[in-house]
Structure 1
Amino acid sequence: MTFEWRAMREADLPAVLALSVRVHPGFPEGEAMFRNRLSLFPAGCLVLCGGGEIGGYAVSHPIRRYAPPPLDAILPGLPEAADDYYLHDVALAPERRGRGHAASGIGRLLDLAARFETASLVSVYGTGPFWARFGFRPAEKDMRAKLAPYGEGAIYMLRRN
């Protein structure tokens, strides 16, 4: 079965939420957050789909640099003076990992990010080396207070575009 990234649809949200709960049990985010990001910036919301199954998702959108939204936050809108493209979450089901799907999805997100000076993300689960392969580096600014909800070892990373 072939899996490919496509635009997320509202009908995908229950499957996206179920996958989020499965891969991020320590970072609960509700369907309202996913619905919010899909309505605010649909171009940055993708699903990895194959055979009617959702094997991954990506949520991303413009922000002000060093101002990632809190987990599960509902945003009233996107900042007019956005200068950074935030990769809020890229998640794959364990059985879809190791097949190049993450790289192809991240490539699509980085194409969107190209119009901004930087792209950013919060690395969790020790994934800093993975993100470094795409040019992300730990930010020099102290972000400990903002990253506290992500737990020990969370790293705010930036990539110059």
Structure 2
Amino acid sequence: MQPGDLPQVLTVQALAYADLMLESEATLASRLALSPQTCWVAMDAGTAGPTEAAIAGYLFTHPWRLAAPPPLDTVLDALPDTPDCWYVHDMALAPRTRGAGVAGQLYAAALSAAQSLGLRASALVAVQQSQGFWARFGYRATADVSPQIAAKLAGYGDGAVFMTREL
């Protein structure tokens, strides 16, 4: 992903989430700036070049602390000095690409980058009943979360679930 991709990323975000979970360009740009090697876009097949290409989906991830997921729609100023997990912040696909394997390709590319950083665990907050989707990538719901994590989950909407996996 490149900074110039963000306008199209915001379009995909709006298509995927409607008005329910939209995050600001500043929030997403902060993650890209802090960890460009773990943020990815998928381009529509058959597009000719960067000026004509359409973004089919995106994945924002970054090193973080397992016990402290960042609140939704929060600009990050820095990564932790001692990250202990790969945090999967957001993946969204344009409706036209669902079922085409785009999610798996994005995840595989980012996972390879995360593993090269030496991180041994991953975490995410599953929203909009997406736990089954993330379970296919090896994530499991954390049944007993700390009060700090529970408070952050409340900001992600009803039914948000903290999930983790080993890498």
So what's the TM-score if we normalise by structure 1?
A: 0.90
Q: Name segments (4+ residues, structure 1) moved above 3 Å.
A: none
Note the 1:1-161 alignment, pairs <5 A.
8-24=1-17, 25-50=19-44, 51=47, 52-114=53-115, 115-142=118-145, 143-161=149-167
- The 3-state SS of whatever aligns with 2:76 is coil
Q: In the alignment, residue 87 of structure 1 is paired with which amino acid? A: V
Compute the displacement of 1:26 (Å): 0.7
Identify unmatched segments of 5+ residues in structure 1: 1-7
Compute the displacement of 1:112 (Å): 2.5
Q: In the alignment, residue 141 of structure 2 is paired with which amino acid? A: P
- The 3-state SS of whatever aligns with 1:150 is coil
What is the aligned-residue RMSD (CA, Å)?
A: 1.2
Q: Distance in 2 between matches of 1:91 and 1:111?
A: 19
Structure that is richer in strand per residue? 1
Q: In the alignment, residue 125 of structure 2 is paired with which amino acid? A: V
- The 3-state SS of whatever aligns with 1:111 is helix
So what's the TM-score if we normalise by structure 2?
A: 0.87
Compute the displacement of 1:151 (Å): 1.4
The one-character-per-residue Cα deviations of 1:94-143 (angstroms, maximum 9, x if unpaired) are: 11010111011111122233221211111111111111111100124423
Q: Is the 8 A contact 1:113 1:119 kept in 2?
A: no
Q: Give the aligned length.
A: 154
Compute the displacement of 1:66 (Å): 2.1
Identify unmatched segments of 5+ residues in structure 2: 48-52
Q: Is the 8 A contact 2:42 2:56 kept in 1?
A: yes
Q: Distance in 1 between matches of 2:62 and 2:159?
A: 24
